[in-house]
Chain A
């Protein structure tokens, strides 16, 4: 069989054409990244200065200030998320790789993959329901006295301490039959949702019957009231939830890659299984596990949605885990949509810092995934 030169030229042309198409597609993949970097540097780099990294946001309209609190806040949230996500994810991955029956593990894997696909804002809602709502703790007790003239009620908790609440006209009374302050029955069990004012006084937001449902209905209406229950802890939990399935699956994958022969060698030395896992298998897979953790951290570092009603944002430094905390994505969001040029400018700079942070995490991934397993023979 002979191959004509004409046919040969056609084949070469086809090969070249397909090569060009593939290269073009590959370039198309990294083009957005190049554009993003170009824009961020062009628009944001000029705003980067010492004050940006250390300062606090200035009040609306005035120029200057920085995102120091947001940068620290993001790092703090990442740390909190890791404290929650890494142990659960790693130990869960150990279970999947080393223990458990095929059936159960199949289900866990399936649900972990489903959780990986859950929109991040849903995780924010979960953390909100678990942490934000209970932390905006209402006052529970029985009505001791009603002072209609001063528009206040005195409530005594089961522990015995009493608290007075000013009831303003906006307060919702959700009580069987009672629509007026004066008709609140003394001695009835109540839940009082309240807000602390700057001067230390409290104003009730709603007075309702006790019950689980009220816990939710009362707070959903009350969401607009800032600073009630939003906390760094809630934000960290939301991000930690997102990390768990990611860390779980990568840990399982790298543990499965550890050759069976190491486990057998350790067991044949008379080591218990848990010791084999902790002292032999985990150290062998350590680089891979760290890679997975860094990848998960990179993923959650830029998350905005789950922080909206958990960490909430803060224009000041965060001093306590139970207080709202600033985060770069939140700060960028609020600055980007603000009508002030200086804030818009700083939003670009913040985005540049955030990209740099995720880039650093990716660089860490590259470093740790290099030579994950040394050659055995």
Chain B
């Protein structure tokens, strides 16, 4: 890391990260003001074997804002999201070209551990996946505990804090020791959000977080997303155009692995520059 880079907020966060992952000394979120890019993506291409899934994608994701990724199935939305915390590397033969910077720091740098990137860039999945062998409380703190946090007071505090942020605290505070799978689908998804928040990431990636939920649970998740953007940078993949319009500040439209158009959500939905974007957001295809 160059001295110049180390002055950036990300550099500071990385410094504490290296000492004690998830330690209480870390700030609740990156001290990045709104308007500064949290993630800078330049010429990103991703391949699975010989198949190119993303083609030369470049744009900036604003900090403390919600960025929606929309597009028809198979357009590379999920792959794009996963390349932001190097989760796509779990697929054998995955390969990327280009440059992704998290607050200025290259997350694909030579000496950057994917494990550290993933602590800074958390993720919530389409299907809620709380660990079935653990209680509600243990699910929230699992990231901290398994990374060496032993301090009971901190764990207790972080449990409440994370569950409150995920708008789940009031529903589960009396049964933190109950199995996580005893919760309803919507509650499980909010539990997964709390679990991701507990390790205090700087960016939260959400891969269709509400697509398996009923409308009521979906609206709760959307309220939550609006609430969370005060502290977090959120990138959300969604199939639901109304959801993108309701919940996001910026929208990127992907088609066949290419970024067709990127802009503020209102611009994308009211005055798209590209014909394909217009066709998609008005429901003419996809």
Contacts and interface: CB of A to CB of B under 8 A. Distances in A.
Contacts of A259: 129
Main secondary structure on A side of the interface with B: helix
A264 B133 contact: no
B129 A264 contact: yes
Nearest to A374: B132
Contacts of B199: 269-270
A217 interface: no
Contacts of A268: 85, 87, 118, 122-123, 125, 196
B131 A262 contact: yes
B90 A267 contact: yes
Contact of B192 (A265, A272, A280, A374): A265
A286 to B, nearest CB: 8
A284 B90 CA distance: 20
Contacts of A5: none
Contact of A261 (B118, B129, B143): B129
B31 interface: no
B185 to A, nearest CB: 5
- The CB with the most chain B CB atoms within 10 A, among A264, A284, A377, is that of A377
Contact of A377 (B115, B128, B133, B146): B128
B77 interface: no
B185 A284 contact: no
A375 interface: yes
B209 interface: no
Contact of A269 (B90, B122, B181, B212): B122
Given A269-B142, A270-B147, A271-B143, A376 B131 contact: no
A271 B125 contact: no
A377 B127 CA distance: 9
Contacts of B118: 267-270
Interface in A265-293: 265-272, 275, 279-280, 283-284, 286
A261 B125 contact: yes
Nearest to A287: B133
B116 interface: yes
B115 A272 contact: yes
Contacts of A269: 118-119, 122, 142-143, 146, 195-196, 199
B21 interface: yes
B188 interface: yes
A271 B119 CA distance: 8
Interface residues of B, number: 34
A109 B39 CA distance: 43
A270 B143 contact: yes
A373 interface: yes
A279 B146 contact: yes
Interface string B105-144: 0000000000111111011010111111100000000110
Contacts of A376: 127-129, 132, 181
B181 A374 contact: yes
Contacts of B185: 377
A363 B125 CA distance: 38
A274 to B, nearest CB: 11
Contacts of B120: 270
Contacts of A261: 125, 127, 129
B52 to A, nearest CB: 22
Nearest to A259: B129
Contacts of A375: 181
Nearest to B120: A270
Interface string A343-377: 00000000000000000000000000000011111
Nearest to B142: A269
Contacts of A264: 87, 90, 123, 125, 129
A284 B180 CA distance: 13
B115 A271 contact: yes
Given A268-B122, A269-B195, A280 B131 contact: yes
16 contacts: A262-B129, A264-B123, A264-B125, A265-B125, A265-B195, A267-B118, A268-B125, A269-B122, A270-B118, A270-B147, A271-B115, A271-B146, A275-B146, A280-B131, A284-B131, A374-B179
Interface of A: 259, 261-272, 275, 279-280, 283-284, 286, 373-377
Given A286-B133, A376-B127, 20 more contacts: A261-B127, A262-B129, A263-B90, A264-B87, A266-B146, A267-B118, A268-B85, A268-B123, A269-B118, A269-B142, A270-B199, A271-B143, A279-B146, A280-B133, A284-B131, A374-B132, A374-B181, A375-B181, A376-B129, A376-B181
Minimum-distance CB pairs A-B, first 10: A270-B119, A269-B143, A268-B123, A261-B129, A270-B118, A283-B133, A265-B129, A374-B132, A377-B185, A374-B181
